[in-house]
Amino acid sequence: MEPPMPSRHATAVQIRPATPADRPALTEMLARCSESTRLKRFLAPLRSFPERYLTEALAGHADHLALVAATPTAVVALASCRATVGATADLAVLVEDAWQRQGIGTCLLNGLLDHADRNGLRTLKATMRPEQDWIMWALRAFGACTARLSMAVLEVTMRREPHRARHQAHIHPPGEV
């Protein structure tokens, strides 16, 4: 996976596969997320992870990769790529408020896309609130995207070329441009 990444908190963040042992730390992380952040990730201000989702994400099956970003003392982000039908998968990323805008989501996305590529997942979907349309623009660096607004939810579909080299987003240390 990715090497530890510097942050403005002067703490290394490690990106690694999630395990069942992460369950308590993920519960704590979600409790530290604002209602707004939970609303953006789940399209509802959930106070806990849906049990079925979390159990599946932590099970370690090839059809549902979950990655965490962890400091030596806490889990600060969770991302998942869940295969659905055929060569299609759903993507989702949740980064704790205090750790947003430091490139952690991009590092997690790179890991999910590597997994999707290795497993032949060519159509990737993400749902978000309409005000999060900047995410669609960011995803265009990784594949052709289309979007559809349905019932106040933006549904983004990214199509990836099987043989084209994928652009890796470059993460700058804090303070660099």
Q: Please provide residue 133's backbone torsions phi and psi, each rounded to the nearest 5 degrees.
A: -60, -20
The residue segments making up the domain with residue 143 are: 14-159
- Look over the chain and give the mean of its residue pLDDT values, rounded to a whole number: 84
Whose structure tokens read 């497993």?
119
Whose structure tokens read 């990323």?
93
Q: What is the pLDDT of residue 163?
A: 54
Which range of 107-116, 126-135, 141-150 scores highest in mean pLDDT? It is 107-116
pLDDT tens for each residue of 101-114? 999 999 999 999 99
In a domain, residue 169? The reply is: no
Q: What is the pLDDT of residue 142?
A: 86
Please give the tally of structural domains in the chain.
1
The rounded radius of gyration (Å) of the Cα atoms in the chain is 15
Residue 10 pLDDT more than 50? no
Q: Which two tokens stand for residue 122?
A: 């060519």
pTM: 0.82
Residue 74 belongs to a domain with what CATH number? 3.40.630.30
Q: Which two tokens stand for residue 40?
A: 């953006």
Q: Regarding predicted confidence, which is higher, 66 or 131?
A: 66
